[in-house]
Amino acid sequence: MQRRARIAGLLALPMAWLIGIYIFSLVMLLVTAFWVTDPFTSKVKPGFTLDNFAQLINNPSYLSTALRTLGIALAVTLLSMLISVPLGIFMAKVASPWLRGILAASITLPLWAGYLVKVLAMRITFTEDGFFNAVVGPFGGHGPGFSVITVVITLTYLWLPYMAVPVYTAIRQLPPNLFDASADLGAGSWRTIRTVVLPLIRPAIIAGSVFTFSLSLGDYLVAKFVGGSTQMIGSIIASNINLNPPLAAAFSLVPIVFVVIYLVGVQRTGALERM
């Protein structure tokens, strides 16, 4: 009995937060998505209607925004993976201890500053007279300006540590003799990465991708500051939160659905069981 009381006391606060705040808020979000907004007074009235969800499908701009946000999140995840895997191999198996420390500090450096500070830094970098154009300008180049490409680059800069750290940790735990054995069997570097490293670190990649994918889906300030006319799901939600809260609530469920579909797909591969 005392043991159960201790366990109940230990779990009371986190369960109260999980159920009373987090889950209850999501339930209310779902309920609000079915409510209606009075077109004359703009007041929200409890009710049940599917019009808010119908607008998401029938309105081409809403549909294109949802698909654009999904594409951006997938691009950020893929780019983070392409950077993290070779970087992790170099840090874990090639770099000297002092260089490894410098690279580790550089990877986690974005986590040391505030979110808006990092976004504004990227805005200054890619502005017309910014650092990027100053570097490539003498060679006849020109930066992407404020566009979807800049949004992807900025989000990758923000969320790369969430992919790089678990990938590096997983690669560092691989026995060195695996690389030696692969080389002795005649496999080149790229084949070793493809057939030996990637299958073994797939759970780490999956873990990192959950963060990069979900965080990119829910972001919209990056698009506001460095995206120019680019809109993401969060942009539509922010613009409707006061004018049409039920529509904003309905649109808020879209990234949740994307994440659930992604997690279900990952679970079917069996990668989550080995994490």
pLDDT at 48 over 70: yes
What does the pLDDT average to over 213-224?
91
Phi and psi angles of residue 145, each rounded to the nearest 5 degrees, phi first: 70, -160
pTM value? 0.86
Average pLDDT over residues 220-248: 88
275: pLDDT strictly greater than 60: no
Question: What was the pLDDT predicted at 9?
Answer: 66
Model confidence at 229, pLDDT cuts 50, 70, 90, reads confident
Residue 167 confidence (pLDDT) above 90:
yes
Query: What percent of the chain shows pLDDT beyond 70?
Result: 88
108-143 tens-digit pLDDT: 887 888 888 899 999 999 888 888 888 887 887 788
pLDDT at 162 (0 to 100): 92
